[in-house]
Chains A and B, each alone.
Chain A
């Protein structure tokens, strides 16, 4: 047995890795998190990921197994770190929007709203009501889209592979709607500082209403497949439950926290955009196990449909972007007639708008929890610092609490119900 910490001689090529020092070369001595074991305990340390079919991205988990039972677990992140926060410092504010969209690639509208809303808070810019409603509609469509992907992949992780295709079929309808209103299926860059890029096109409302009319029946179908499936219930019920207080201590937000019974949702707690005007419910669970997480998210899909329908009904007429020529691009038709508009256009496109010095934090309820954006402005046209509080990153801390003592198969179930997006975790 080589002593823990000294350079072990093994294989030759991967000795210098930090975890080799943390866990020792022998799985007998220590668990993945470095806890010492008694001499009679023998654990199998396996490396799940970064390329593993069920880790929802390039997440790496060091798992100590005793037979099939998980004794310890350590998530290792950073494999898709792309330096988005740092890169934003090098871009003018309006050019940073496409960057932040690409963090959590399933909730790009939430990412955009967090950043754009934060900049608007710094500028003290009020956006027109129509823009608020359009943003709300797209945020909720985004929630549907994200939850559909979650439901499909989670069911696939549990072995119910047909669900994957059903969910992606409906997810594609959401993407079709995005394509219609924004011109892109993903990473739309639809939200602008001051409002939205363009008004919704003719026919979008009709398509959206048709989608909203059909979606509840689709959710019924998903529930018909899973809700009374004995295997599914046995795999999810009473699995991975973490007490509410522990989740709060870890800073977990979103459906995970609500499933444990804490009705914390930023759409209700601090209503922004049009959420204050709309009537919707926040589903909460009781036990906080995998089944509650599933039920909470599925119920959220129904509520999102309700929100979208109400927002469509109450969609106010008027401009969809603020009328502040120092921040918002002038209308295209003015460029050929107005010298002033041309100058504004030139200044905005080349330099960008300047933001007064200060710092602001703005958070939205993304499909995964509280997605916060913190921007420090130094008075120039580029942010001095951008930081995101990504819910996946914070929620991932709870994984160990969910999994230790459970089976290896439960680990996959817990990870699926946790719904981490590695793009958001690593940024």
Chain B
């Protein structure tokens, strides 16, 4: 039996770590703008229209135009806003999103270089820790705005985090028990025979539902419910501060999809030679991202109390049961 820790004997040179972090950073900041235009295109197709197609070929330059617009906007701050916390909040969200990317494995160790940022022994706990800090960004942003709509959005965000993070953790616990490790690399390696989506199907469903809630995406986009709270915690933000929130949402979507791929879809496993591994991960992640967009185009928004009762009365007992059943089965076999 493997120890519940990653292989800490494997160490990389510092310069490799630096290069890797730069590569991950660059790749993500290349993917996120593309993701925004992809989402708008996909939504457009769902809604019997074209989506952006004016700027550049197929509208691919649209995010550039958006970014220029957002960056050059006036940095407006409401009088009631709390000076330091208000601008920090969006930065916090982006920071935590990017930091979480470090543990997503895109492949195993090849030629002495691990195809991941870092293989931390606490693995998924790192993800949860930063996910929780991300909600501080929403909470602080909403509260520091000094606006009632933002405040309501922040309160909703806080409640949503507490309700769904527990179910999310329990949903992953089944896969962790089967793999016998917290390290994401070990978990992917443990799936070389069967992807955990089959034995852990309930856990997968719970994780996806909770993941939608964690990323504030439809149908759980209550903290920014545009019909009720205008834009929730982001009501008072404009320019690149607002852009940071939007970007963080896409990064979080990417991270949740990445975690789902790692835990349930066998990570880099796939047919073909070893150098295809990162491509497989990206392809699987994009499949999940498409699911996010599909759901957004289809489903209405749930109500606040329904969200709470779903989290506490359905997902949490189900996740607990899933963990118990998995625990018994893992012990018996």
Contact = CB atoms under 8 A, between A and B. Distances in A.
Interface of A: 44, 46, 52-54, 65, 68, 155-162, 164-166, 169, 225, 229, 231-232, 234-235, 407-412
B230 A234 contact: no
A52 B230 contact: yes
B48 A160 contact: no
Nearest to A63: B148
A158 B303 CA distance: 9
B227 A159 contact: yes
Contacts of A161: 43, 47, 296-297
Interface string B290-327: 00000011111111111000000000000000000000
A52, A156, A229, A231, most chain B CB atoms within 10 A: A231
Contact of B227 (A68, A157, A162): A157
A68, A157, A164, A412, most chain B CB atoms within 10 A: A68
Contacts of B296: 161
A410 B301 CA distance: 12
A408 B301 contact: no
Contacts of B252: none
A231 B48 contact: no
Contact of B219 (A44, A155, A156, A231): A231
Closest 10 CB pairs of A and B: A159-B301, A165-B47, A160-B300, A54-B227, A158-B300, A159-B300, A157-B227, A409-B303, A46-B148, A162-B47
Interface in B218-266: 218-219, 221, 225-228, 230
B46 interface: yes
A124 B49 CA distance: 50
A198 B303 CA distance: 50
Nearest to A416: B227
Nearest to A68: B304
B136 interface: no
Main secondary structure of the interface of A (DSSP, over half): helix
Contacts, number: 82
B212 interface: no
B25 to A, nearest CB: 32
A412 B149 CA distance: 14
Contact of B303 (A53, A65, A410): A410
A225 B297 CA distance: 11
Interface in B25-53: 43, 46-49
Contacts of B219: 159, 231
Contacts of B148: 44, 46
B299 A159 contact: yes
16 contacts: A44-B152, A53-B230, A156-B227, A159-B219, A160-B299, A160-B300, A165-B49, A166-B48, A229-B300, A235-B302, A407-B305, A408-B228, A409-B228, A409-B304, A410-B303, A412-B227
Contact of B305 (A68, A164, A412): A68
Contacts of A158: 227, 300-301
Contacts of A410: 303
Nearest to A156: B227
Nearest to B231: A53
Nearest to A46: B148
A291 B309 CA distance: 21
Contacts of B298: 160, 162, 225
A165 B298 CA distance: 12
